[in-house]
Amino acid sequence: MDTTIRNEVEKINIDAILIRDVPLAPLCSYRTGGDADLLGTPSNLSELRALLAYASEHGLSITVLGGGTNVLVSDRGVRGLTILTTRLHQVHVRGTLLCAQAGLSVDKTIQIAIEHSLCGLELLGGLPGTIGGAVRGNAGANGVWLSDFVEWVDYIDMDGTLGRVFRSEMDFSYKHSCFSSNNYVIYEVVLRLIPNKETSEAMRMREQSRRKRFVAGQFDYPSAGCMFKNPEGYSAGKLIDQAKLNTLTVGGAAVSHKHANFIINRSGDATSMDMYRLSQQIAEHVEKSEHIKLEREVQLIGQW
């Protein structure tokens, strides 16, 4: 770490942004899982760097959590340091570029874009989670993907060094970016959007996309959206339907009757292990009956 950064980091009161033994269930959309040994909640770059320096000094592993809407947290919790990005939510607009810190919610990002007469993201209306999490997994809906708009991403490596990666180097593909396979923390996302003065039409489209999710029952029960990626040329949900697995349950975990690729915490007191076992059973049945391997989209966090 260079001297300027070290000086900056030493000014941070680490105790003010570090909490011990924090239950993660309330921070995740499944509402399951154990505690984080240590939870860091940075609100700026210096605090983020200070947390990474602290982890390095104490030999702690790092887990990043955004909105917690695409993760399954182990019931045994998460050792080391968990960094929650949701206090990193500054945003500014320069021409057609919207620069959002990683913890800003996708919905808020869309709203701010439209307020600045910038469009393109409306069909992602109602997508749960943060912009950092969405870029990491190249989230998408209604034929629109985050990768369509990313200009560049600023990230922090484990040494606290700030780096920049441009869209052409991000290795985007279906539900994948270069951040899916490295352990960098996305700090800021820069999107190039489309100038459009028709803001009321954009607001209407965003609201319609949001409402469609409620009507489809996506928020009726705690879930993390689709458990599995769609195998090339197939819909994971349809494969689960075809294999007649809609009534499968493990403990409090069940296959959603409205969308077979959603595994839901139907009882409200399911464990992460219930979710995990049900997903294993589904994948095994589908492989046996349809001869297709399902790959989990939801990320496993903590000790499995």
Ligand X SMILES: Cc1cc2nc3c(=O)[nH]c(=O)nc-3n(C[C@H](O)[C@H](O)[C@H](O)COP(=O)(O)OP(=O)(O)OC[C@H]3O[C@@H](n4cnc5c(N)ncnc54)[C@H](O)[C@@H]3O)c2cc1C
> Interface with ligand X by CB under 6 A: which residues?
29, 64-71, 85, 102, 127-130, 132-134, 136-137, 139-141, 179, 185-186, 218-219, 223-225, 299
Min dist. Cβ of residue 75 to ligand X (A)? 17
Residue listed under structure tokens 């945003």? 91
Min dist. Cβ of residue 65 to ligand X (A)? 5
CB atoms within 10 A of CB 116: 18
The whole-angstrom separation of Cα 130 and Cα 120 is 17
Min dist. Cβ of residue 8 to ligand X (A)? 20
Say if residues 297 and 70 touch (Cβ distance below 8 Å): yes
Q: Side chain identity at 28, as an amino acid letter? A: C
Min dist. Cβ of residue 154 to ligand X (A)? 11
Choice between 134 and 278, CB closer to ligand X: 134
Min dist. Cβ of residue 145 to ligand X (A)? 8
The whole-angstrom separation of Cα 196 and Cα 206 is 14
Min dist. Cβ of residue 50 to ligand X (A)? 17
Choice between 34 and 67, CB closer to ligand X: 67
The whole-angstrom separation of Cα 128 and Cα 134 is 9
Choice between 214 and 244, CB closer to ligand X: 214
Q: Side chain identity at 30, as an amino acid letter? A: Y
Choice between 133 and 237, CB closer to ligand X: 133
Q: Any bridge partners for residue 101, and if so which?
A: 188
Give the distance from CA 229 to its chain's centroid: 14
The whole-angstrom separation of Cα 131 and Cα 146 is 9
Choice between 24 and 114, CB closer to ligand X: 24
Can you point out the beta strands (E) in 167-235? 185-192, 194-195
Choice between 142 and 242, CB closer to ligand X: 142
